[in-house]
Amino acid sequence: MAAHQEKKPSEERKHKSTQNHTRTSQVQWGRAWEVDWFSLASILFLLMFAPLIVYYFIMSCDQYQCSLLDPVIDLLTEKKHLSDIWNKTPTLTYRAAGIYTLWVAFQVFLYVFIPDFCHKFIPGYVGGVQEGAVTPVGVVNKYEINGLQAWIITHVLWFANAYYFHWFSPTIIFDNWIPLLWCANILGYAVSTFAMIKSYFFPTNAKDCKFTGNFFYDYMMGIEFNPRIGKWFDFKLFFNGRPGIVAWTLINLSYAAKQQELYGEVTNSMILVNVLQGIYVLDFFWNEAWYLKTIDICHDHFGWYLGWGDCVWLPYLYTLQGLYLVYHPVQLCAANAIGILILGMIGYYIFRTTNHQKDLFRRTNGNCKIWGKKPEYIECSYMSVDGTKYYSKLLTSGFWGWARHFNYTGDLMGSLAYCLACGFEHILPYFYIFYMTILLTHRCIRDEHRCFSKYGKDWKRYTAAVPYRLLPGIF
């Protein structure tokens, strides 16, 4: 990233290398070329079971008041058969298909046709055309950063409808939640399959494609690095941010509206979940330009993992707390509510500050202050496909001196706060913290593997200087 921004013309920063080992090392960074049995087994497991997991969670709220155990007990005791549960599940409806099509079309419209105007009047906000990171073959893509604007327009319309126009009920998302699930699945599978076909027949940048030869791995992890349609429709940026993340806050608002409709009030736990997750979503859009430098955009290829994951997994499973609170309206005592708010805010502070420290450090090429001092760092180098050598720096000051991924630790604290807001009656709302712990630990290991392939011995020097991953002194 910064190395990417740093790729200034000065010849001492990059130079061609013709050595063979260079070629070997460069092709190894980025997504894997070879598939080990464990990765393959995990991928097959996810392809088969992830859609069922999502269905199970949503169905258990719809039919079992969010109990994860009761459906199993009913099936084991033969009180119910699978067919009974399935027959009770709402099917795809024309209404849901219409809502979903309109929703996605509207987000595409906002993404493609409305260039960013927020950066023109919001001080400090970075929007408009921005550059992404250097890809393994040395391409630097341009992106139209207009997510904040899309989020604001969408939410203004939402509130205008709720309080003034009344075109539709604010509970519309909750009321069509399962029919919408089928629509989201159709889009998720369609876009992943399209991306796979596209990578064979009309890739955006053929050199940045990676074929492992294993169909399932390629389908899941993607072949094309940055698939696009036309100049600006970037699959990764669109599907990562919208329709899933713009929808996240609307989904929570719809749950709050449902609580109001059912119980005549919105509980403080629902407000906490809306506020804490709202901050996280707004932070994402405020920092969308920074997001271009995160693993999702910089390193992951676009396949089912991102395509289906962004359409289905994210909007359905990241919003489980709000869904749960519709069925179990928890009113927290003031002390617990404040404690959870503080935990969430500290988590957010760590998450944001850590990400900001790295961003600032890389953007200024180390010419900045971290916690009031000149930052310490480790110099490192890597190669791109054409043999160009780049230099980069790994920060060892601030939170980056505490652990190698303290941003994940902050994220996990925030995630725990959302779950705690739901009390302790059921396990379902705690899915998120279990999942995030697995996701971020796995991501941390995956990222470190990639960084080691990229930086080699320089990465080892870095891990010796900052020995812990997430929790200083523990892990």
Q: Which of 64, 308, 390, 408 binds ligand NDP (CB under 6 A)?
A: 408
Is 405 one of the binding residues for ligand NDP (CB under 6 A)?
yes
**Please, which of residues 78-137 interact with ligand NDP by CB under 6 A?**
none
Size of the site for ligand NDP (CB under 6 A): 19
Is 290 one of the binding residues for ligand NDP (CB under 6 A)?
no
Of 258 and 405, the one with the shorter C-beta distance to ligand NDP is 405
Nearest Cα neighbor of 235 from 278, 214, 205, 212 is 205
Least distance to ligand NDP, CB of residue 303, Å = 16
**CA-CA distances (angstroms) from residue 280 to 37, 137, 283, 285?**
36, 33, 5, 9
Q: Which residues pair with 128 in a beta bridge?
A: 145
- The values of phi and psi at residue 359, to 5°, are -60, -45
Is 294 one of the binding residues for ligand NDP (CB under 6 A)?
yes
Is 177 one of the binding residues for ligand NDP (CB under 6 A)?
no
Least distance to ligand NDP, CB of residue 398, Å = 10
Is 355 one of the binding residues for ligand NDP (CB under 6 A)?
yes
Cβ distance 395 to 469 under 8 Å?
no
Q: Which stretch binds ligand NDP (CB under 6 A): 69-77, 110-118, 400-408, 420-428?
A: 400-408
Q: Which residues pair with 394 in a beta bridge?
A: 378
Nearest Cα neighbor of 454 from 362, 359, 383, 358 is 383
Least distance to ligand NDP, CB of residue 6, Å = 10
Is 161 one of the binding residues for ligand NDP (CB under 6 A)?
no
Amino acid at 367: N
Residue-by-residue DSSP string for 13-60: T--B---HHHHHHHHHSSS-SS--HHHHHHHHHHHHHHHHHHHHHHHH
Least distance to ligand NDP, CB of residue 355, Å = 5
Least distance to ligand NDP, CB of residue 338, Å = 24
Of 96 and 272, the one with the shorter C-beta distance to ligand NDP is 272
Q: Which residues pair with 381 in a beta bridge?
A: 391
Least distance to ligand NDP, CB of residue 26, Å = 13
User: What are the structure tokens assigned to 161, written together?
Assistant: 């409808």
Of 70 and 448, the one with the shorter C-beta distance to ligand NDP is 448
Burial class (CB in 10 A: 0-12, 13-18, 19+), 237: buried
Q: Which stretch binds ligand NDP (CB under 6 A): 107-115, 251-259, 319-327, 355-363?
A: 355-363
Of 100 and 432, the one with the shorter C-beta distance to ligand NDP is 432
Is 210 one of the binding residues for ligand NDP (CB under 6 A)?
no
Is 348 one of the binding residues for ligand NDP (CB under 6 A)?
no
Is 288 one of the binding residues for ligand NDP (CB under 6 A)?
no
Cβ distance 324 to 382 under 8 Å?
no
**CA-CA distances (angstroms) from residue 470 to 364, 377, 404, 421?**
25, 19, 7, 24
Print the binding letters for residues 361-390 with ligand NDP: x by CB under 6 A, - otherwise: -x----------------------------
- Residue number of the CB closest to ligand NDP reads 294
Least distance to ligand NDP, CB of residue 234, Å = 17
Q: Which of 203, 407, 419, 470 binds ligand NDP (CB under 6 A)?
A: 407
Is 447 one of the binding residues for ligand NDP (CB under 6 A)?
yes
Rg (CA), the chain: 23
SS3 of residue 146 by DSSP: coil
Nearest Cα neighbor of 129 from 344, 304, 310, 289 is 289
Least distance to ligand NDP, CB of residue 40, Å = 23
SS3 of residue 158 by DSSP: helix
Strand ranges (E), 137-278: 140-145, 228-229, 233-234
Give, rounded to a whole angstrom, the gap between the first and last alpha carbons of the chain.
Answer: 26
Q: Which of 41, 160, 197, 295 binds ligand NDP (CB under 6 A)?
A: 295
Least distance to ligand NDP, CB of residue 435, Å = 9
Amino acid at 17: S
Of 254 and 407, the one with the shorter C-beta distance to ligand NDP is 407
Determine the Cα–Cα distance for residues 119 and 138; give it in Å rounded to an integer. 28
SS3 of residue 166 by DSSP: coil
Q: Which positions touch ligand NDP (CB under 6 A)?
A: 1, 294-295, 351, 355, 358, 362, 392, 394-395, 400, 405, 407-408, 411, 443, 447, 451, 454
